[in-house]
Structure formats: structure tokens, C-alpha cells
Amino acid sequence: MRFFVPLISSFLVASLALANLQTLQGDITSIGRSLTALDNVVNVLPSGAPGIPVALQVQVHSVTLANQLKLAAQHANSTNALNLTDSLSLGVGLIALLPGITGTLSDVAEKNTTFAGLGIIVLSSLVQLKGDTEAFSDQLVAKLDPLIQAVSPLVVNTIIDAFDNAIAAFRSNGEHSLPVF
């Protein structure tokens, strides 16, 4: 019986680590789905008054994405350090999201004049999403294997640069000024 207690304890610890990895992978999948939904709505945004309901849908998707990023940051924070295999698995998932992230932010930036008077709301959302993305990335990178941590700035900086470009597009309209957080 004494032999089984440590064995069962080891199994439970391994199961918890796996659950954390699965939770983070689920978070990444959810973020990817929200990015796709957000991009789909942005791409059908008409200018003028007909665009107001669609612009509000963009805001709803942005709030959903912000909430998912905050939850993912909490999950990453509560996760134990990940080994190389698990870190690679998450890294591959995040790299797969990179075109969706940069594409969505590029699409939003291209529509900066289409949002017209609602541009300040979009700008505020972009600043918030950038902060939530940075918080998630800070929490996640801290849990990755040191080898993956070393290369993670390449991915993170690409995402942050895409946010900065989108934010700059909305600030360039001259009517929007929010402080940088």
C-alpha cells in the first residue's frame, strides 16, 4: 500500500500538469476563434450609418477577446513551469495564430476611416487588447521552457508591432487621442 500512495500522488501531479497544458491550448484555440470572428465582422463593415450596427459587433467581439485574454493570463499564471515538449506545443499553437492576429489588426487599421466617429471606441479597444495581450504573453512566457523563452520575443514583438501599427492608424485621424498605457 505504501508503494501506491507515491505512485498515485505522482499520477495526480502529472494529470494536473496535463490539465493545465490542455487548458492553455484551449485558451489559444478560443482566442483564435474570436480573432476569426472579429476579422470576419471587420471585413464586412460598411462606411456611414449602415456601419454602426456592424461597428458595435466589432466592439462586442473585442470585449469577448479581451475577456479570453484575461482568462488565459490567469490560467498561465496558475500553471506550473512547462517542460520543453509542452512549451513547444504551445509555441506552435501561438505561431499558428500569428497570421490571424497580424491580419486582423491590419484589417482593422485599414478600416480606420470607415469607423468614423466610432474610431475612439476602436482605439480604446485596441489599447485594451494590446495590454491584455501583453499580460497574457508575460504570464505565459514566464512558464515556458528557457529555450522557448529565448525565442518568444520574436513572436511577441511581431504581435505588439501589429497592435502599434493599428493604434497608430486610428491616432493618425487626428480626432483620437488616448494616453498610452
Instruction: Examine the pLDDT at 89 and tell me if it is beyond 50.
Output: yes
Asked whether the predicted pLDDT for residue 54 surpasses 80, the reply is yes
Please provide the average confidence, as pLDDT, over all residues in the chain. 86
- For 29-41, the pLDDT digits (tens) are 999 999 999 999 9
Q: Which residues of 97-120 are buried (b: 16+ CB within 10 A; e: fewer)?
A: beebbbbbbbbbbebbebbeebbe
Give the global pTM: 0.83
Q: Is the pLDDT of residue 108 over 50?
A: yes
pLDDT at 2 over 60: no
Task: Give the model confidence (pLDDT) of 129-163 as tens digits.
Answer: 999 999 999 999 999 999 999 999 999 999 999 99
How is the chain split into domains, by residue range? 19-42+49-171
Euclidean distance between the first and final Cα of the chain, in Å?
57
Task: State mean pLDDT over 164-176.
Answer: 81
**Contact (CB, 8 A) for 159 and 102:** yes
